[in-house]
C-alpha cells in the first residue's frame, strides 16, 4: 500500500514538474514575443522619426538654396543696372583747384608821411615850413585788384575732419591809395620857370632829369610834377581751409599766411620791401558748373614799418573763381 502511494506521489510530482516546465516555457515564449513586438514598434517609430527629420533637412536645404539663388540674382541685377547707368552717364568731376580774380576796397592803418609823398617837411612836422614843400598826408583809403589760385591738398584734413578741404593759396594784389597832390606847395626853385603846380623833392628830381635845366635838356623828366601815386603790391602764400565739401555754399578760413609788400614810392631809406603775416576769411557759392562767386576780408600785419612807412591794413571785396 505504501509502495502504491509512493508511486502515485512520484507520478503526480513528475506530472506537476512537466506541467510547470511546459507552463514556464509558454510564459517565456509569451514574454519574448511581447518584447519583440515592443522592439519592433520602437524601431518603427524611430524609423518614422528619422524619415521625418531627413525630410525636414531636405526641405530646409532646398529653401536655403532657393533663397541664396534669389539673393545672388538680385545682386547681379543690381550690379548690371549700376554698370549700365554709369556707362550711359559720364562720371562727375569734382573740382578741387580754382583760379580767381579779386577786387574791392583797401585801407591802410596809417597814412604815408615821408619825404617822397611830400608831407614830412611841409605839414605839421615843422611849423615854419608848413605848406612850403608839401600838402596833406596821403589817403588811407583806396582800392585793389588781384588774382590767385587754390591748389587742393586734401579733402578731409588728412583724415582729421570729414568734408573739410585744405588748399594751398598763392595770390597777388595791387593796391592804390590815390595820388598825393601838391597844389599848395611852393615851386622847387624861383629860378626854374616857376610853376605853382609843382611841388616837393620828387619834383626837383624830376626837373633835374628833364629839360628845365640846360644840362638835362631833353632828358627823361617833366617840367610839371604836382602829384605822386601811392601804391602797394602784395604777394601772399597761405593755407586755406574750406568747409562743407560737396555743397554749393562753402565758407573758408586762412588761419595765417605769409605776405610780402612792395611799396611805391620808396621810403626815406629807399626801402621797398616789407614782409609780414596775413589772416583771412570768406565764403563762395557755385553759381553754374565750374563758376563760383565769393567775398572775403583779409588783414595784413607786419609788426614794423619800413623806414617810417607802415604797410599794415585790410582789404574787403569780392572775387570770381573758375574751378579746374
Average pLDDT over residues 48-52: 79
Give CA angle at 303 (267, 261), nearest 5°. Answer: 50
Question: Residue 41's pLDDT band (boundaries 50, 70, 90)?
Answer: low
The pLDDT assigned to 184 comes to 46
The pLDDT assigned to 267 comes to 83
Burial of 157 (0-12, 13-18, 19+ CB in 10 A): middle
Has residue 323 got a pLDDT over 50?
A: yes
For the segment 141-170, what is each residue's pLDDT rounded down to a tens digit? 999 999 999 999 999 999 999 999 999 999
C-alpha cell at 128: 615854419
Which one is predicted more confidently, 185 or 48?
Answer: 48
Element (H, E) at 152: strand 141-154
Which one is predicted more confidently, 111 or 243?
Answer: 243
Which of 173-182, 269-278, 306-315 comes out lowest in average pLDDT? 173-182
Which one is predicted more confidently, 80 or 161?
Answer: 161
Radius of gyration for the chain, computed over Cα atoms and rounded to the nearest angstrom: 53
Average pLDDT over residues 215-222: 48
Average pLDDT over residues 308-321: 94
Q: Share the mean pLDDT of the chain.
A: 75
Whether this prediction's pTM lies above 0.85 is answered by no
Rounded Cα distance between 207 and 202, Å, is: 9
Which of 42-46, 231-235, 258-262 comes out lowest in average pLDDT? 42-46
Count Cα atoms within 13 angstroms, Cβ side, for 282: 21
Where is mean pLDDT largest: 56-70, 272-286, 300-314? 272-286
For the segment 173-209, what is each residue's pLDDT rounded down to a tens digit? 999 987 665 554 444 444 444 444 444 444 455 555 5
The pLDDT assigned to 189 comes to 44
Has residue 306 got a pLDDT over 70?
A: yes
The pLDDT assigned to 196 comes to 46
Give CA angle at 321 (320, 324), nearest 5°. Answer: 160
Element (H, E) at 181: strand 165-181
Average pLDDT over residues 1-8: 50
For the segment 238-249, what is each residue's pLDDT rounded down to a tens digit? 999 999 999 999
The pLDDT assigned to 270 comes to 81
Q: How many other CB atoms are found less than 10 A from the CB of residue 151? A: 12
Has residue 263 got a pLDDT over 70?
A: yes
The pLDDT assigned to 30 comes to 53
Amino acid at each position: 500500500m505504501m509502495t502504491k502511494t509512493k508511486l502515485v506521489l512520484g507520478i503526480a510530482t513528475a506530472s506537476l514538474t512537466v506541467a510547470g516546465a511546459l507552463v514556464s516555457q509558454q510564459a517565456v515564449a509569451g514574454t519574448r514575443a511581447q518584447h519583440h513586438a515592443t522592439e519592433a514598434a520602437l524601431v518603427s517609430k524611430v524609423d518614422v522619426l528619422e524619415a521625418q527629420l531627413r525630410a525636414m533637412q531636405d526641405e530646409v536645404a532646398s529653401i536655403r538654396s532657393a533663397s541664396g539663388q534669389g539673393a545672388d540674382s538680385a545682386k547681379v541685377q543690381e550690379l548690371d543696372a549700376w554698370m549700365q547707368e554709369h556707362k550711359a552717364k559720364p562720371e562727375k568731376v569734382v573740382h578741387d583747384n580754382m583760379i580767381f580774380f579779386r577786387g574791392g576796397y583797401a585801407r591802410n592803418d596809417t597814412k604815408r608821411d615821408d619825404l617822397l609823398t611830400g608831407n614830412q617837411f611841409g605839414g605839421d612836422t615843422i611849423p615854419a615850413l608848413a605848406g612850403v614843400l608839401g600838402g596833406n598826408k596821403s589817403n588811407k583809403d583806396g582800392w585793389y585788384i588781384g588774382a590767385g589760385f587754390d591748389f587742393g591738398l586734401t579733402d578731409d584734413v588728412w583724415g582729421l575732419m570729414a568734408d573739410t578741404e585744405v588748399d594751398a593759396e598763392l595770390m597777388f594784389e595791387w593796391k592804390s591809395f590815390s595820388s598825393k597832390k601838391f597844389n599848395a606847395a611852393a615851386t622847387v626853385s624861383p629860378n626854374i620857370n616857376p610853376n605853382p603846380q609843382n611841388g616837393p623833392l620828387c619834383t626837383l628830381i624830376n626837373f633835374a632829369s628833364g629839360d628845365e635845366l640846360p644840362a638835362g635838356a631833353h632828358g627823361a623828366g617833366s617840367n610839371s610834377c604836382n602829384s605822386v601815386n601811392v601804391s602797394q603790391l602784395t604777394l601772399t602764400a597761405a593755407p586755406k581751409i574750406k568747409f562743407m565739401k560737396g555743397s554749393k555754399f562753402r565758407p573758408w578760413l586762412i588761419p595765417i599766411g605769409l605776405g610780402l609788400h612792395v611799396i611805391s614810392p620808396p621810403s626815406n631809406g629807399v626801402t621797398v620791401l616789407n614782409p609780414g603775416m596775413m589772416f583771412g576769411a570768406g565764403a563762395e557759392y557755385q553759381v553754374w558748373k565750374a563758376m563760383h562767386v565769393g567775398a572775403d576780408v583779409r588783414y595784413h600785419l607786419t609788426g614794423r614799418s619800413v623806414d617810417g612807412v607802415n604797410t599794415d591794413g585790410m582789404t574787403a571785396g569780392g572775387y570770381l573763381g573758375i574751378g579746374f
